[in-house]
Structure 1
Amino acid sequence: MNHSRAATTVKPGRKLWRTRFKLPRKVLPFSPRISINEVRPTESIDAELQHWGEVILLSDLVAVLHRDGTITRRAHHISSLYANEALAQWDEVFRFYDRQTALHKIQTAKVYLPDGSQRKARKVIQPYGQIAIQYYPLRPGVTVELEEQQDFFTPDRITACMWGQEYLRYSLPCQRLRCTVAVSAPFRLQYQLHLTEQEPRTWKQGSYQIYQWDLHQLPGYETDDGTPHPRDVLPWVDFTTLSDWEPITQYYRQDLEPPASIPTQIQKLSEDLPRESESTEEKIYTLYKYASEDVRYGRHPSELNLEKTREVGSMLEDMRGDCKDKSALLVSLLRHQGIEAEIAVLLTRINGTVSFLPGARFDHAIVCVTFENGERLWLDPAAGPMTFKDIPYNDQGMQALLLKSAAGELTRIPSGGAESNHINRKCQGTLSADCSYRFATNVSTTGDTAMEFRLRYINRNEAYQSLTLEKELASSLTGAQIEAPQFLNLSDLSQPVSYSCQMTLDQWSRKIEDIILFRVPWIGAMHTVALVNVQKRNSALQAPWPVRFTDYHKIELPAGFQGYGLPYAQQYECEWGRYHVSISEDDSQLICCREVDHLGGIIREDQYLEFKKYWEQCTRADALDVVLMKTTNEHADTFT
């Protein structure tokens, strides 16, 4: 839900005298200090310490927007430590700030020892606004405290405003979590709750409107390699004083928008790269291929912190740029051809999928082409050598801010689903009486999989490609012999990436007298993994990202053998995947077909057993043996 939505961007009020003289502002009246005596650990947390390695006793956060548009942030943190990794994180804590525009004060930094004594941490002021806080001695059972305040004396770089987000639960147990947001008139705050209905306590104090969440005895949240991003599974609050995206759009347009007067070098490139006879789509492809493939990704270290796009001359001289540079280049090339194109900024999927309120929370820039009929084509020239018209799954379905006008346009990038990352394999071969399986295979890949192949192989010679592809294919099949592996169209970004090879699997089947047990070597075969082996989970699980596997085998059977119990078919389906397999016999040939769709999504704790059952069913179906029996005259009636 949204609350207290402002009407327009607000101009700041008169500057505070503490801002003028660069003095710390008083924010404790909004959120009185909590002493360690109020949260001091007791023996009751010993079991939690041994389980989690660390228990947060207090997390007290304050964010204040003053009338002059400047911000103060205060944080008070107290933790009891036990595990070695927890202790190591507190050996030395670093803080950075710009001395010209901000003041950072460490108010309390102490170590409380199990015997009741305490030591002050050592504060070392280093050059360029860096502070090192060194805690000593640290050993299991100590408690550490850090209280700090940072005052900013100039408004945010975009406009006088404040935005941010705070989690209302952590991965570690927390005995008390207090989050306070104070906003002075003339500003107004809007906030949005995610995965919680915990409304804040609100009150007015002078010209400030206060919002406070004060929570107690929060349990920890188990995490592992399969846990989704915290924003997708933990409660949190998003807040902002911006009423719309216009200030954000104007800020990014200043930094990213290509010049209205297209530089001469860009004009010449745009005219020389495509042929006049090419269609609009062919011209877009030619220019995209140049920005994506010919211009490598990256910047010189001296320009890593530069927020604006690189100057055209420098970019073309060393032929490299980051996502901002590549997108601006492609937009300029397209516009010179009369093709409508804009830059869009987004926060990629790896950082969570929940949309934010207005704020400058983006980590990537891509390009949106709009055709005369209103259809849009999304291109990511910085993602790597993606197939034309494909975009990485990391971009798909994400909220994007299109910088097409001063007000901008908030939109959502389309999701392609499992079919947008497709691995299709066709095999034809022979199963010998000695149980060896020899076959020719052709594989076609799209989406992220195709891009990953190109990243590894596109700039290598055929000898390297052949040798490395052979190792890659053989790594998943014990004893596989790979012959003549080769890519068919690796460099053509207008087509999926395809490769072919001859493969021999010696002793792949088992022979028991007149019976052969044959296991189909499916591509992307499912197997049990640690994340789905446990009987229950205490946290959500990230389902495999969307991809489609289609596999077809046409196998010549050994003379005198035929399938038993065929045709066979099996199908399973759940919210996070679909599985279908069929095996039949046709004129002494075994026809094996399989299609698997991983659909992505988040598996909640109470849904885990459903997913576990589905995954196990698919794993068993992949591992089933096809029974082949030798036919003889005396057994002929068995198969009629």
Structure 2
Amino acid sequence: MAMVVFNHEYHSVDKDGNQVVYQDRAVRPNTTQAVQALGELTATFSASKESIEIISAEVYLPNGKKVVTDVSQALIKEPFTALNYSDLKIKTISFKGVEEGSVLRVVVKRTFRPDVDKGFFLFQGFFDVLVPTQETLVVLRFEPGTKVAKRERFATPAPTAIRERKTDKGELFYLYGTSEVKPTTPEPVSVPSQETGSSVTFASLATWDEIGRWWSGLYEPKVSTSGEVRQKAEELTKDLAKQDDKIKALYDFVKSMRYVSIHLNSGAYLPHPAEETLKNKYGDCKDKAVLLLSLLRCIGVDGAVALVRVPSLITSDLPSPRYFDHAVVALKTPASGYSFLDATAALVPYGLLPEVLQHRHALIPRDKGGELVLIPPQPVENNAVEETIEADIHDVHSVTLTSRSRTYSPNQWYHAIPSIPQHLMLEALKEGVSKQYKDFEILKLQLEPADRGGILRNTTTLEIRDFTRKMGQWYIFNPLFDADHLGNESSVGSSTRTSDIEFEAPRRLVATATIRLPKTVKVESLPKPMKLVHEKFGSYIYEVQESEGVIKVRREVNISVKRIAAKDFKEFRQFYKACLNQDEELIGLKEL
């Protein structure tokens, strides 16, 4: 645990977007772990655009003495770059005298020089803290003539000091201060904290049309529909008649190429020519998007390279290219919308979009301008797990359980499973089953890679010798056994909520269980059927039938939203808890 005594920042910005930042920060470590964490400063920077200077580093000991670290001893190191060609560097220095109860004060100067994004500026300041903070002060200065827009969103904690001033020279100054701020703990399964807490955003005055033209001017010259690019497009599609099959072939080709992050000089924004990426057989998101768009244009499919912000939604009324950290291909659809192809999602089947891109902003260059759109979540059928369970009960203690699953999902973890060595998957399965049962044996584990349609099929067979729990004269068990469950129980753990909920993506879970009983066992209780349909959130169906020693249970749940607004939480909680509770319904058996 540590405490921030003060954190003072001074930002100076000119009309071209050049920035100079001074940070004066004092922190008190109160535990051994905090001493270890604060004993060394590591700062990553882009050598072609940024510089970092450690101006001073001092430690004030509890006995009143001061220990000074020689900042000239700071080192510049190369970061780990397994799949990364970059000019990123790490400046690091170890501080002398840091101990529990001491105060470490460090003053750092950081300079940022824009490249192809000259003239664009973005500053986002967040007032939420992870550790207790006694004082925060942020000052921004804009040189005369700098056109800037701002947006303030104050929740808890809100700045206690706010100042705005324009000097006689035309300089703009903004000051924000907080005092005695306590850490805030995000609510479970929440939207990203960047969207909810107190913050200020400043951006250079621009429109999405201007940024769209700027981005189009960077990537369009790199697009090619001739030479080797056209030859490759023709080679990949020559035996295919349907346009959709051709698009899939080109997409699969580009996404199979090695992903390598390229961050050299202008590389953060400027893609490589399509021919170069094709020849190299590797690239980052913007390189692969440009190559895919080039190949698509060769077969008469036009589109654009869209910029996407992955971690969170953006401040849409303050346009800036500096929000974005990813690039995909956007194709116009007949329904006046867009479909998106992420050429870096190596394991995601064609037609599906990675969960992290759903409900995120994308900037699409079009008609000599730009359009900011919200990528919609995909429908539940594009994220579905269907399981068939065969349970042969031998007595009130033992059962042979075979589960067959059919999965169609953008979740890359599902698609990575078949490539994991069998012995490791057996160990993982054993560990997972052991959390529920103690006496069991794995008889079969079969994992199949996705077929041409992107569907995964897995089969497991278990012999379980303690599948029930005794309750009086009854033996009880869950008829869904180990079927995929809803999860995210913590999202509805509290009766009230202030922030929106965000799930990975809409999804469908279907489990059909056929349970065969021996003549030595009698059914004493069955779950009651249930059907819930909610126009906002989805549906839940639970059906039960018993006939001639066979019980059939079918559960289908459709969560049709990715986000649930806080104002709808009471309704959603009632719906979701009913689903969770029904999933835990039990069958009661009695031994004859």
The TM-score with structure 2 as length reference comes to 0.81
Whether 2:307 is the aligned partner of 1:345: answer yes
CA shift, 1:389, in A, is 1.2
Q: Which residue of structure 1 lines up, in the alignment, with residue 546 of structure 2?
A: 585
Q: What's the CA shift string for 1:223-257, capped at 9, x where partnerless?
A: 69967643133211111013213554455445544
**Counterpart pick for 1:508 among 463, 467, 477:** 467
Counterpart-to-counterpart distance in 2, 1:505 and 1:88: 47
2:254 equivalent in structure 1: 291
Q: Which amino acid aligns with 1:232?
A: E
Q: Is 1:202 the counterpart of 2:164 in the alignment? A: yes
Mapped pair 1:215 → 2:178: yes
Q: Which residue identity is paired with 1:369? A: L
Question: Does the aligned pair in 1 maintain the 2:400–2:461 contact within 8 Å?
Answer: yes
The secondary structure found in structure 2 opposite 1:266 is: helix
Show the counterpart of 2:385: 423
CA separation of 1:406 and 1:182: change in aligned 2, threshold 3 A: farther
Inter-partner Cα distance in structure 1 for 2:228 and 2:182? 59
- DSSP-derived class of the 1:568 partner: coil
Q: CA deviation at 1:584?
A: 3.1
Distance 1:543-1:569 versus aligned 2 partners, 3 A rule: farther
* Cα contact 1:543–1:576 (8 A) shared by 2: no
C-alpha distance in 1, partners of 2:487/2:566? 21
Work out whether 1:278 is the aligned partner of 2:237. no
Contact preservation (8 Å) 2:10, 2:138: yes
- Residues 118-142 of structure 1, C-alpha deviation per residue, up to 9 Å, x if partnerless? 2222202546997544422111111
Q: What amino acid is the match of 2:127?
A: L
Larger deviation: 174-183 or 503-512? 503-512
Which of the numbers 426, 439, 445 marks the counterpart of 2:407? 445
AA paired with 1:143?
A: V
- Do residues 433 (structure 1) and 395 (structure 2) align? yes
Task: Say whether 1:524 aligns with 2:484.
Answer: yes
Deviation of the 1:79 alpha carbon: 2.0
CA distance 1:185–1:586, change in 2 (3 Å): farther
Alignment partner of 1:90 out of 31, 38, 41: 38
1:482 Cα deviation after fit:
4.5
Structure-1 residue corresponding to 2:232: 269
Q: In the alignment, which of 515, 518, 522 is matched to residue 558 of structure 1?
A: 518
How far residue 626 of structure 1 moved from its aligned partner, in angstroms, is 0.6
Determine the structure 2 residue equivalent to 1:182: 141
Contact 1:195 1:233 in 2 (8 A): no
Q: Which residue of 1 aligns with 2:83?
A: none
Q: Which residue of structure 2 aligns with residue 60 of structure 1?
A: 8
Report the Cα distance in structure 1 between the residues aligned to 2:198 and 2:373, rounded to whole angstroms: 25
Deviation at 1:203, TM superposition (A): 1.4
Percent of aligned pairs with the same residue? 18
Contact 1:554/1:590 (8 A) holds in 2: yes
Question: 2:432 matched to which residue of 1?
Answer: 476
Q: Which amino acid aligns with 1:238?
A: T
Instruction: Please tell me whether the aligned partners of residues 228 and 602 of structure 1 are also in contact (alpha carbons under 8 angstroms).
Output: no
1:591 corresponds to which letter in structure 2?
Answer: K
Query: Closer, same or farther in 2 for the Cα pair 1:484/1:143, shift >3 Å?
Result: closer
Shift of 1:387: 2.0
Q: Which residue of 2 aligns with 1:39?
A: none
Residues of 2 paired with 1:303 and 1:147: CA distance?
27
Q: Distance in 2 between matches of 1:488 and 1:141?
A: 56
The CA deviation string for residues 481-532 of structure 1, in whole angstroms up to 9 with x for no partner, is 445544566242x342223344443342357998543332041246898x68
- Matched residue type, 1:243: A
Amino acid at match of 1:288: Y
Distance in 1 between residues matched to 2:50 and 2:472, nearest whole Å: 82
What is the one-letter code of the residue matched to 2:544?
A: I
Which of 94, 98, 102 is 1:142 aligned to?
A: 102
1:410 aligned to 2:372? Answer: yes
Partner of 1:637: none
**Greater CA drift, 558-567 or 236-245:** 558-567
Superposition pairs for residues 4-403 of structure 1, below 5 Å?
53-66=1-14, 70-95=18-43, 104-123=52-71, 124-126=73-75, 132-151=92-111, 157-196=116-155, 200-205=162-167, 206-222=169-185, 229-246=192-209, 248-257=211-220, 259-275=222-238, 278-293=241-256, 295-298=257-260, 308-312=270-274, 315-317=277-279, 319-348=281-310, 351-355=311-315, 357-359=318-320, 360-371=322-333, 374-403=336-365
2:589 matched to which residue of 1? Answer: 628
Q: Aligned-pair distance for 1:62?
A: 1.9
Following superposition, the deviation at residue 116 of structure 1 comes to: 2.0
Q: Is the partner of 1:147 in helix, strand or coil? A: strand
CA 1:96 to 1:299, structure 2 compared with 1: closer, same or farther past 3 Å? closer
- Cα offset for 1:425? 0.6
Cα distance between partner residues in 2 of 1:100 and 1:270: 36
Structure 1 unaligned residues grouped into runs of 5+ = 1-52, 632-640
Give the Å deviation of 1:77. Answer: 1.3
* Amino acid corresponding to residue 59 of structure 1 in structure 2: N
Change over 3 Å in CA distance of 1:559–1:151 after alignment to 2: closer
Structure of larger gyration radius:
1
Give the CA deviation at 1:216: 2.0
After superposition, the C-alpha distances for 1:569-591 in whole angstroms (9 at most, x for unaligned) are 35789998976544331343211
Could you tell me which amino acid in structure 2 is paired with residue 476 of structure 1?
A: G
Contact 1:258–1:332 at 8 Å: present in 2 too? no
Which amino acid letter does the alignment assign opposite residue 523 of structure 2? G
Residue 568 of structure 1: which of 528, 539, 556 is its match?
528
| CA distance 1:216–1:274, change in 2 (3 Å) | same
Cα distance in 2 for partners of 1:592, 1:177 equals: 58
Kindly provide the amino acid, as one letter, of the partner of residue 168 in structure 1: F
Contact 1:563/1:585 (<8 A) preserved: no
Larger strand share, 1 or 2: 2
Q: Secondary structure at the match of 2:355?
A: coil
The 3-state SS of whatever aligns with 1:564 is strand
Q: What displacement does 1:103 show?
A: 6.3
Structure 2 distance, partners of 1:573, 1:596, is 10
Cα deviations by residue, 1:163-201 (Å, 9 ceiling, x for unpaired): 110012312222222222222332222112235376942
Q: Would the aligned equivalents of 2:527 and 2:586 in 1 still touch at CA under 8 Å?
A: no
- CA distance, structure 1, for counterparts of residue 276 and residue 116 of structure 2: 26
Unaligned runs of 5+ residues in structure 2 are 78-88
Map of 1:490 onto structure 2: 450
Task: Tell me, yes or no, if the aligned pair for 1:445 and 1:497 is still in contact at 8 Å.
Answer: yes
| CA-based RMSD | 4.1
> Is 1:430–1:437's contact at 8 Å kept on the other side of the alignment?
yes
- The aligned amino acid for 1:328 is V
SS of residue in 1 equivalent to 2:184? coil
- TM superposition shift of 1:269: 1.4
Alignment-mate amino acid for residue 113 of structure 1: L
- TM-score, length basis structure 1: 0.76
Report SS of the residue matched to 1:408: strand
Write the deviation string for residues 323-352 of structure 1: whole angstroms up to 9, x where unpaired.
22222221111100000121111121xx23
CA spacing shift, 1:223–1:495, aligned 2, 3 Å: closer
Separation of aligned partners in 2, 1:285 and 1:431: 45
